[in-house]
Chain A
Amino acid sequence: MPEIIIDMPANFKYVPGVRVLVARVSQAFGFNDQEACQIETIVDELCNNAIEHGSREESQMVRINCKIENEDLEIVVIDSGTRKSFDLEKTIAGKLKLMEQEEQEGRVGERRGRGLVIVKKMSDHLSVDLSDQKTAIRVRKRKAGSL
């Protein structure tokens, strides 16, 4: 199974390059245009999160690991943030609820934090692994038409 590994200094200037790299590679392995756009968004949001909340200094690195297995693309973004706990489901549920509330009231918050909601909606699986010095966010994206 083909694998690409990207080690990126924690600086936003590398992110546009990294996200198109993964999107184009996914196209080469049969993901359609819409899926490739979603993959570009997923990689972008996860990298930005990693820089904002994890590896805050440029000397720290963010690792992006992409594996293609049959119909699936697995993307793992690892930062060197030392979060004590991270309840992904709860965080996303909370954010979704806020967004829906705002929508109903016809107003918008200018708050940040829609990134993970977008990733959740565009992917088939989303999970987090916390270890000593690292936070790894794992996403799986399945090709359209596959079971």
Chain B
Amino acid sequence: MEQALKMNLKELPGQEKIKIVEIEGAIDSTTVIEFDKKMNEIMSAIHQPGIAMIMDFSKLNYINSTGLTKLMGCYTGMIRRSGVLKIANSAKNIQEILNVVGAAKLIKIYATMDEALKP
């Protein structure tokens, strides 16, 4: 059984321009406040341009429209900081909903983490 939402910030040695956020569980109406709070913490610590934030969705099993709204907020937040938001490893059902709301046209989505890590 999965936990409602678990988030983990990972930084790679020697790659200070990359921030990986692993997201596990669901971003829905019961967890969206926590998601938003953690993402704001992570983003407000970004003070230089050119940062690539990669969300690792390999353990994300669900996202709804409320969660997507906040995800879009992260996209805008990264643009404002002259950075970029990328998504890696999303499951089919997550991919579908990203397509349905048009998020897939704006956010860069990669099938694997390796591809997302390329500049």
Contacts and interface: CB of A to CB of B under 8 A. Distances in A.
Interface of A: 12-13, 15-16, 34, 37-38, 40-41, 44-45, 48, 51, 99-100, 102-103, 106-115, 117-118, 121-122
Contacts, number: 73
A118 B103 CA distance: 12
A112 B101 contact: no
A58 to B, nearest CB: 14
Nearest to A106: B106
Q: Which residue, of A12, A34, A111, has the highest number of chain B Cβ atoms within 10 A?
A: A12
A45 B106 contact: no
A114 B106 contact: no
The number of chain B residues touching the other chain, given as a range, is 20 to 34
A100 B68 CA distance: 16
A34 B93 contact: yes
Contact of A12 (B30, B75, B101, B102): B30
A108 B103 contact: yes
| Top 10 A-B pairs, shortest CB-CB distance | A37-B93, A115-B65, A108-B72, A114-B65, A12-B29, A103-B102, A110-B73, A44-B64, A12-B30, A48-B29
B82 interface: no
Interface of B: 4, 26, 28-30, 62, 64-66, 68-69, 72-73, 75-76, 92-93, 96-97, 100-103, 105-106
A53 B92 CA distance: 30
B4 A99 contact: no
5 contacts: A12-B29, A15-B28, A40-B62, A41-B97, A111-B69
B30 A34 contact: no
B76 A34 contact: no
Nearest to A36: B93
Contacts of B103: 108
Contact of A108 (B62, B76, B92, B96): B76
Contacts of B75: 108
Q: Which residue, of A16, A107, A113, has the highest number of chain B Cβ atoms within 10 A?
A: A16
Contact of A103 (B4, B29, B105): B105
A118 B85 CA distance: 23
Given A41-B97, A108-B103, A118-B100, 8 more contacts: A38-B93, A38-B96, A41-B64, A44-B64, A45-B65, A107-B76, A108-B75, A113-B65
